[in-house]
Structure formats: structure tokens, C-alpha cells
Structure 1
Amino acid sequence: MTPTDPVTNTDPNPTASPTPTPTTTPPAKGKSLYDRLGGKDAITAVVDDFVNRTTSDPSIKHRFFNTDAANLKKLLVEFVCEATGGPCKYTGRDMESSHAGMDLVDEEFTALVTNLVGTLDKFKVPEKEKGELLGALGPLKPMMVKPEKLKPMDAKKLAAVTKLAATVKDPEGQELLNFAVTAGTRGQRNYAEQLFTRAEMKLGPKAVAAVAKTFREGAPTRVNTEVKKMPADSKPQPASIGSSEADEPDAKPAKGALTGMLTLDGKPSTGKGVVMLWPKAGKGKKRVAKTRVIEQRDKMFAPQVMAVPVGSTVSFPNFDPIFHNVFSLSKVKPFDLGMYKNGESRDVKLDKPGIVRLGCNLHAAMSAWVIVVDAPHYVIPDASGKFEFKSLAPGKYKVQAWNERSGEPTTSEIEVKEGPNETKLDLKAGATATISPDKFGTARDK
């Protein structure tokens, strides 16, 4: 909606983004638009008023319910400063990425422009400079608004929601239900469900149970267990976790060892992965289910890749001052944890082997992987693709290796002899790195 997504897609580790569209009108007397607007202090004042005006605008304020307002203002100042020829460097994400999955429509973009005009008029910005600044905003619209992909929700079902809303006495709850209907009518299905969830949190599940299916149908099974409270001083989780030898070290190391490299089409692998081994003779050691944590902190999952034995339970605490909505569409374990806030958590038991991709329905850039293993030996390769097993009984093993860029796991066979052994597991690149779809399976990267 603005240079950083206020609701869904702020990336805490932004990649280099395109330079904001500069103004094309020649500057008066050699001065840049930045100077003619009054420099950074003036731009900061304009941005502050614009954000305050927009986040209180009844027609669009709900888009900002989950916003870090201070960060939004900071990025907007950087964006306008750089776009007008100032000395700043915009550190946010590009328009298309930062608005992925928001399903903005013309009315919302128009509301933004109207609020900006109101702010510029309040500060008595001259018509020439105002026109140049608004002219820089126009080319951004195709990157932010893509109405052609939207399909309105069922009108009869939405009419039932409107009827229910008319009976609600709580003004905020009623407003949220009516906005959910508006979003559904526009075809903003994911946004409509977010608004409905907020109404449900305000009014209670029983009050809106009759229409819940209207907004939830097509999403994974909702986990409605009571949220658990987590200590605020919980230590941050590592970037990756999952090693059979670290989880349950052998009392006496076996006589074989294996080091190796995971590659993609002969090149060093990038992304998350796992290597699993099964002895060809016998079943191998049965691994004990674990209790693990994948946190949401700084709008990122951590760990971003985890391997756990079948039957393990994973907690998903939120340590951010905003809401998150963890979900998975994976066939192994589809689930929707719903929205919950800072200091709260819900658990998921992973009872089948396979690969579980995690996403956040409010922040499209968030992604992580859980590999649920039934193998007696498993390890997460490091960032360069290197892996190591220090304790393996000599013999033949079935090997399964997977990387998020390879798609399905690749199966092969290896013989481990006494002493050190080396191998190279080359996978065929097949999966393209993309932003995860929303919990209804709708692509958020187009």
C-alpha cells in the first residue's frame, strides 16, 4: 500500500530494491524537488501527517491494523527522500514484493492518493511540486493494484453476514463484519477472512459461528486450542536445528563416518535441505519424538528449517508486537493456527513423515520448513551444503536428500566403510523459489 506493506509483507531483511521512480519535471533554478519541498525535515512532517491521516481514514484504516507505524514512517521518508533527489537510500522492498497477496483495489489506491493530497494541501505545498510528487506515485499503481485476479465471494453467503452484522450491538464488531463483506464482494478473500477473524476475536466465536464457514471454507483445518502464554524473555531460536546425532548421541560411536556435499545441478546448493539415511539391513535405531519450537520474531521464522522425528510436537510462539497467522498447506500436515499476538503460542503434532512448508497468512515473505523424518539418521546441511554423520555402522544405506530448490526428495544408495567416508549428493534443480501462497492456496507472488 506504501513502500512497505503495512499489513502483510514487511521483510526484516530486505533485498536490494529498485530505485524509487524519480520525478521527471526539470527542477526550478537547478534545485531538486527534495530541496524545493524543504528537505528531510519537511518530508518527515508530511509523511507523519499522511500516515496518521491514512491510518484513521474509515475507508482504509483496517489495512493498517497490524502495522509497525514507526517503521512505516521511516521507510516512507526514505522512499520520498530518494525519489525526489535527496541524499537518502530506501531500504525497503520493491512495490510488487511488498504488496504481494494484499489484493488492493482501485478504491483503496484512490484513498491513499486522496489522503496524500490532503496532507500536501495542509502544508501548502505549491501546485508545481505537488504535481511532481503525485506524478511519481502514478507509475506505482500497476505494481500495487491487480484487480484482474480477484473473484467475488458468494453473494448469498455474504448477505447472511450482513444480516448478522445488523444484529450486533458492538460498534467495532459490526464495522469489522461489514468491512469483511465489502472485501468479499470485491474478491479480496484473504483480507475478508482477516477482517472476519478480528470480528470473531472481538465478539467471541459463538457470536459469529453461523457465518464462519463463509470465510474459512477452502483453508486448512483451523486449530482452535487455547493459546499458551510464553515467557517474554525466551531466548531466540537458531536458524536451523535437526540432527539425529545431536538429538540422541550414541554412547559409543560406530566405526563409520560420512561427510558430504549437497549440490544442485553440480553447483553449490542454496536454501534449506536435509539428508536422511536408512540401513539396508535392519531397521536402525528408532528416534524418539521431540518437543520443539519455531518462533516468529522480527517477522521471521526461526528456525527456518527443522528436522524432527515422527510424532514430535512443535510450538509456534509469537514474539513480535504484531499478529501472525502460521499455516501450512502441505499434504503431510495441513493446518491453520489462526491469528494470535505477542507472547502467545499454539502447538501442532506432526504424526506423518514428509515435508511441511510453513507460511504466515499476514506476512507473505515469511517462510520455513519442517522435515518430519522416520529415518534413524538425519542431518540439516549447512548453508554451503556440507553435512556430516560421525557415527554410522559400516554397511549399505538408502539415502534421501532434499533441498527446497529441488522439489521432491532424491533417493540413492551408498556404502559406508570403516573409518571416514566422503560422498557428493547432486540434486536436480526443479522448484522455483517463490513467496508461499496464502492459506487458501492463492498465489501471492503475482
Structure 2
Amino acid sequence: MSKILIRGAKVLGGEARDVLIDGETIEAVGSGLSAEGATVVEAGGKILLPGLVDLHTHLREPGREDSETVLTGTRAAASGGFTAVFAMANTFPVADTAGVVEQVYRLGKESGYCDVQPIGAVTVGLEGKKLAELGAMHESAAGVTVFSDDGKCVDDAVMMRRALEYVKAFGGVVAQHAQEPRLTEGAQMNEGVVSAELGLGGWPAVAEESIIARDVLLAEHVGSRVHICHLSTAGSVEIVRWAKSRGIDVTAEVTPHHLLLTDELVRSYNPVYKVNPPLRTERDVMALREALADGTIDIVATDHAPHPHEDKDCEWAAAAMGMVGLETALSVVQQTMVETGLLTWEAVADRMSFKPARIGRATGHGRPVSAGEPANLVLVDADYRGAVDPASFASRSRNTPYEGRELPGRVTHTWLRGRATLVDGNLA
């Protein structure tokens, strides 16, 4: 593998530096580094960040290859600047055994665009009745440390307690989809003024908040780690803030779409805005941004949820819930957090690389941009402005809420252990 010199990049948004990659490793970071024997990438003041890590991705394979595969999903990840993603367990069959997680892990290795770390199901078949093979999945070649029934809530308190106790033995974490099912039967959108006006079934904030409150208390009682998936309400923020003040080992994520979009968009009845948890109010959006800025919310995770055309191009009530997000995540964070002054680029690296890698124990990812570290890197043209065109996506699906919307920033290059996976905006 030849040497690569990234010349004149603003490392973590700071002063321009040269970064020399030799093989899989960063050899040097400084000024005026020699380009002898190296392929030169003229950064021209673009932002250089550590490769992004997504703790919440749906790659759909095995079973729903009509919407995404590990290959197409990791190509989308590389296009968005990600070098590692955690693949959710709601596949067909469910990733609740060592055999299935090893299959996903192997497919990720074969893709070559991004490291794929499978997430194991908490319960068999996501049915909430019996613990899945947590220990076997952890001891498998995939080395699973994160477990989630995402898409469904582990609503049984005894089952959740048992899961927290089990994963504590090897330092694992349970990632909870916080949704009390009895409070959300028939729910179609956020419960509030807009749902009342439209006559759509409401998904109340308390359905999320009550589960989070229960689970942080369970985590405290057990002395285990719990992670809250796609936190979406101002009340949830306050519960997590309180839990952290007590020293409870809880982390939380927010999606890009919950940082930008509100339930007012549902007035269009366009199913592209149908997602779980639903788009909330402007007040919730502002609370989520502030919480991400002050560290109450630890990370940004995409909840990339691809669906084929026929599952979204239908009436609202029949449409599937979910949005693709890998290829637009960084742009949305730039618009909502960087351009508003809430986060610096260094803080973006913390929320989208360092911390998610730490929570998921993604070896070799979320590392400083410094000599001796793995060359997992992303170069971003923060001055770019352009309308989102889903036809250009590497993902197999096109269900984006941003079609035609102008967003800032564009990932131009991604390197996975020194090998370019994206060059000048094109997949390598």
C-alpha cells in the first residue's frame, strides 16, 4: 500500500496540517511534510476528522436484501464518512444466535468499505419472552458487545433486568428502543396538536420517557450499562440528565432527523416523514440540540432504515417507518449543530467518532488524528452547499426526508486503515 499525503487539511477544524499515511497507519502530522513517494491529496483547507462510527444502522441482510445489503449499506456508509457501523439485529432471521451475527460480520469483512460490528438481539426472535444467546454471540468471531431488540422495546422489566445482569459479566451494553407498547397502539405520529388536527393516532412522549426512567433505575440497581436509542423528547433529556447526575452508567443517542425535522412536516401526509420514534415538536428539537451540545446526549447515530419504494410510496397508514441517513448525517449535524454555534468540529468528532467507538468498543476506531494511530479518516468540504439527490445515493433505498433540500458540507474522501474507500466523492 503506497503512502498518502493529505496536504493542508484542518485537523478537527483547527489549523491546516499535513497528514502522512503509511500503510494502515498515520505516520506523521505536521507542516511541510515531504511528499516523496506519496500520493498527494490536496485538502485545501477541508476538515479532516477521524472516521465516523454509527452505533445504529439497519443493513437488512439477511432477509430484506430488497431494501439494503451489507455491501450497499457499507458503500453508503463510506459515502457518508463512516468507517465503522453497528448493524441492528432485526433481520430475517433475527440476529439472535452466534451463527447469524457471524454471517453479518463476515459479509462486512467481504464488503471492504466499512467495518461492520453486528448487534445481537436481546431476546429470541425479538419477541421479549426469552433471552437470546448473549454469551455465545459475545464469544463468537463477531465478538458482540452491544445487544438490542431495536424496532421493539424490551418492555418486560424482569427480562430487561436479566439482560443487564447477563451483559455485565463481560462489559456489554443493552441498547433500548424505549417505547411502551401499550401506550403506542395504533400510533402514527407524535401525539400533540398536529396529530389531533390530522386525526392520526398519537405516539405520546411519555411512552418513551417511562421506559427510560425504568431502565436507568434498573441499570443503577444492577450496576450495568444501558444505552438509550434514538432519544426524541425534551422529557427524555431531563431523565437522562438526572440519571447521569446520580452516576448511573447510561448513554444516549440522537438521530440527525430528530435534530432538524418536526411533526409539522406530517401535514403533507408524505410517508417519507414517518419514523419511529416519530418526529417531535420544535421544543423537543431545541432540547435535543442543547443536550447534544452539553453532553447529556452522548452521540449522534443515524438509525439508517432503508425501505424499498413500495413500502414508502403508499398511503400514510400503510407505510413503513424509517429513513435512510448514512449519506446525509454529517451534513445535517453541520447545519443544526456547527453552523448554529452549538458544536465545534472537534466536538462533532467526539459525538460521531470518539464516543460511539468507546460505547460500542470498536477497536481501532474513534482514535485521535495523530502519529501511530490507525488511518481511519474522513475529509469534509464544509463550504459545499447542494440539494440532496437520492438518485446519487449508494444505498439501495431512497427513502430520505431531505430530497431537494439544500444541506451544507460534502464528504470528499474516506480512508479505512489507509485504503481509500471514497475519492473525490466517488466510491473507490
TM-score where L is the length of structure 2: 0.29
Relative contact order higher in (CA < 8 Å, ≥ 6 apart): 2
Larger radius of gyration: 1
